[in-house]
Amino acid sequence: MRAVRYDRYGGPDRLRLVEVDVPRPARGQVLVRVSASSVNSWDWDLLRGRPWYARLGGPLRPAHPVLGADLVGDVVEVGDAVRAFRVGDAVWGDVSAAGWGGFAEFAAVDAVGLRPRPDRIDPAVAAAVPQAGGLAWQALVDVAHVAARERVLVVGAGGGVGTFAVALARRVGAEVVAVDRAGKLDLLRRLGAREVLDADDRDRDPFAGAARYDVIVDMVASRPRSTYRRALRPGGRLVVVGGSTRTIAAVAATGGRPDAEQRTLRLLAARANGGLDELGELVASGDVTPVIEEVLPLDRVPEALARIGAGSVLGKLVIVPQG
């Protein structure tokens, strides 16, 4: 089979499209013929081995030589002790805790990392959902509990997680202020953001002023805790999905404890496939539509990761390995 592999941390030039043996599923695993995968910022972090916590599983060499956390396909072989799936089952999932391996024609992954896939969702569309959609769902729904008429700031709104966050907030009737680079603002308007701000425009700082937002979801958090607290209304909630190591550590240190005005700052403790079943229903019904900039073949994975690293992608890039 073909797979995109790397054996040393670095840039996209470390990736190679190679022919390797089809893996066999171990106990508790299934072998999946991959129909589609997609690229996430976590793939970029693991490729480079930065920030430092990207090397926790492999300090010197990558623990997962085939990246790709989003996995969509069909079960072709079942390992011992697997009861949830049979050969022929259509599956999907975020397999970042189950073996990775989406950037290949076949992947052997832990069965617990997969879910039955709704048959009304095209595989290429489904591939955009698991990790990015799951992070957005957990941040907006499970942690922030966003409600109608609340004012929600989404920072890093034009990427994979951000576009889902905007869509989910708008779906419940929240008012969205979306921040990203200038080239993504038209997309954010089309997604229903009430106000869009260029992240590079210093004259329109989304954090200028006090008590502006009920909820802030930040994919690229880099500000001091005091800035977030000042921007939140009483009872407001910050959820940090990603960002600088310093800001992540500072927010995590609060433990989510409310201040005197019941404002909370939380680091999202993501769960693989959290919210995926609910997202599947929304995507299948057409209530939520993933934003996909382009569908690419397997040999363009290095290019896709370079584009993710540059921060230029509108929504998601999907990888289709077969054919």
Q: Domains, the chain, ranges and CATH?
A: 2-128+291-320 (3.90.180.10), 131-267 (3.90.180.10)
What is the reported pLDDT for 100?
Answer: 98
Q: With 0-12 CB in 10 A as exposed, 13-18 as middle and 19+ as buried, what is 246?
A: exposed
What is the reported pLDDT for 322?
Answer: 79
Q: With 0-12 CB in 10 A as exposed, 13-18 as middle and 19+ as buried, what is 214?
A: buried
Average pLDDT over residues 199-228: 96
**What percent of the chain stands above pLDDT 70?**
100
What is the reported pLDDT for 20?
Answer: 97
Pairing type for strands 16-19 and 2-5 reads antiparallel
Average pLDDT, the chain: 97
pLDDT digits (tens, 9 = 90+) for 110-126: 999 999 999 999 999 99
Average pLDDT over residues 259-265: 98
Average pLDDT over residues 193-212: 95
What is the pLDDT confidence band of residue 31, given thresholds at 50, 70 and 90? very high
The vertex-217 CA angle with 215 and 222, nearest 5°, equals 120
Average pLDDT over residues 124-137: 98
Enter the pTM of the model. 0.97
Torsion, Cα 263 268 269 270, to 10 degrees, reads 150
Spatial CB neighbours of 308, under 8 Å, sequence gap ≥ 6: 39, 40, 41, 43, 44, 317
Average pLDDT over residues 183-193: 98
Q: Are 290 and 125 in contact (CB under 8 A)?
A: yes
What is the reported pLDDT for 315?
Answer: 98
Structure tokens belonging to residue 269 = 């403790």
CA distances from 124 to 71, 73, 284 (A): 10, 10, 13
Average pLDDT over residues 118-145: 97
Spatial CB neighbours of 141, under 8 Å, sequence gap ≥ 6: 168, 275, 278
Answer whether residue 197 shows pLDDT above 80. yes
Answer whether residue 323 shows pLDDT above 90. no
Helix segments in 49-196, DSSP class H: 123-126, 130-137, 160-171, 185-190
Other beta carbons within 10 angstroms of residue 224's beta carbon come to 11
What is the reported pLDDT for 109?
Answer: 98
Average pLDDT over residues 240-252: 97
**What percent of the chain stands above pLDDT 90?**
98
Tell me, what DSSP letter sits at residue 62?
-
In angstroms, the CA 89 to CA 66 distance is: 23
Q: Are 37 and 318 in contact (CB under 8 A)?
A: yes
Q: Residue 72's closest CA among 28, 118, 27, 29?
A: 118
pLDDT digits (tens, 9 = 90+) for 57-67: 999 999 999 99
